[in-house]
Amino acid sequence: MKILVTVKRVTDYEAKIKIKPDGQGVVTEGINMIVNPFDEIAVEEALRIKEKASAEVVVLSIGPKDAAQQIRSALAMGADRGILVEAADLDSDAVATIMAKVVDKEKPDLVIVGKQAIDDDSGQAGQILAELLGWGQACFASKVELGSGKVTVTREVDGGHDTIDVDLPAVISADLRLNEPRYASLPGIMKAKKKPLEETSPAALGVVATPKVLVKRFEEPVQRKAGVRVPDVPTLVAKLKNEAKAL
C-alpha cells in the first residue's frame, strides 16, 4: 500500500504576523517556520496505517526550496521518502493541479492532507484534488479505518459526526482530533537525513499550474476598541446591566 501525505511550510502559529509596508506580503524574516499542524496529524495517521498494514509513506511538499526542512521533519517521524516540488505563486487550485500530477506518477492508494493550512486558512486543495482525480473524499476526519478496497471515516461536521465509506483510492483531510502526532526521536532525525528526498519542479513534472486566485494586497484587520478593567463582580454586573444592557 502507498500513502501520499502533504506537508506545507507555514509560519509558526505563535508568531506575530506583520504586513509588509507596501501591503504586498507578510514579513517572514526572523519568523520560525513549521510543518502545518494539521499536516503533522496527517503524517501521523499515515504512519499508524503503515505500522498496522505495512505501507510506504511518501511525503510531498509544494512550495519554496526550504520546505525540504518540513519534509525532513516528516521523514524523522517515520515517513519513507520525500518529494519537494519547488514552486511559487500558488493558490489552492495550482497546488491541487501539481498534486494530481504527482498522484499520476506515484499512484498512491490514499492521499492524506491536513484540513487547512494555518496561514492561508483556505482548506480547498484536498477537495479540488479529489475532484480532479474523480476520487471520493473524507474531510475533517476524526477517525480512519482501513477496510478492503475502502476506508471508513468519521468526520467532524456541524451538529455532530458523519461516518462515510469511501472507495480507494481516496483523499482524506485530517482534523484536530484524528490523532496526536508523535515527536521525532533522535534516531529518527538521524535516519531522516539519509532518506531519499527528490527535488523537482512543475516544469520537470510536465504540469502548468496557473493560480486562479490572485492576492491583490494584505490589509490590517479592524481592531476592537479597548475595553475597561473592572475591579470586582458587582461593578461588572452593574456595567453589564446598565451600560451593555446585556443582562
User: What residues from 77 to 106 belong to the interface with another protein (CB under 8 A)?
Assistant: 91-93, 96
Interface segment toward another protein; rule CB under 8 A; list 59-67, 82-90, 166-174, 201-209: 166-174
Burial category of 176 from C-beta neighbours within 10 Å (exposed 0-12, middle 13-18, buried 19 and up) = middle
H or E segment at 82? strand 81-86
For another protein, which is the closer residue by CB, 193 or 217? 217
Beta bridge partners, 152, equal 145, 165
Does 162 engage in binding with another protein (CB under 8 A)? yes
CB of 110 to another protein, least distance (A): 13
Interface segment toward another protein; rule CB under 8 A; list 52-60, 104-112, 190-198, 238-246: 238-246
Q: b/e for 210-230, b at 16 or more Cβ within 10 A?
A: eeeeeeeeeeeeeeeeeeeee
Q: Which of residues 107-136 bind another protein (CB under 8 A)?
A: 115-116, 118-128, 130-132, 134-136
Do residues 174 and 41 make contact, with C-beta atoms less than 8 angstroms apart? yes
Does 21 engage in binding with another protein (CB under 8 A)? no
Task: Output the nine-digit C-alpha cell for 163.
Answer: 461516518
Residue 60, classed as helix, strand or coil, is: strand
CB of 80 to another protein, least distance (A): 26
Q: Which of residues 171-230 bind another protein (CB under 8 A)?
A: 175-177, 180, 211-221, 224, 226-230
Q: What is the residue-wise DSSP string for 75-112?
A: HHHT--EEEEEE--S--HHHHHHHHHHHHHHH--SEEE
CB of 181 to another protein, least distance (A): 12
CB of 25 to another protein, least distance (A): 10
Relative to beta strand 150-157, strand 160-167 is antiparallel
Does 27 engage in binding with another protein (CB under 8 A)? no
* CA gap 81, 15 in Å, rounded: 29
For another protein, which is the closer residue by CB, 160 or 187? 160
| Total residues at interface with another protein (CB under 8 A) | 84
CB of 119 to another protein, least distance (A): 6
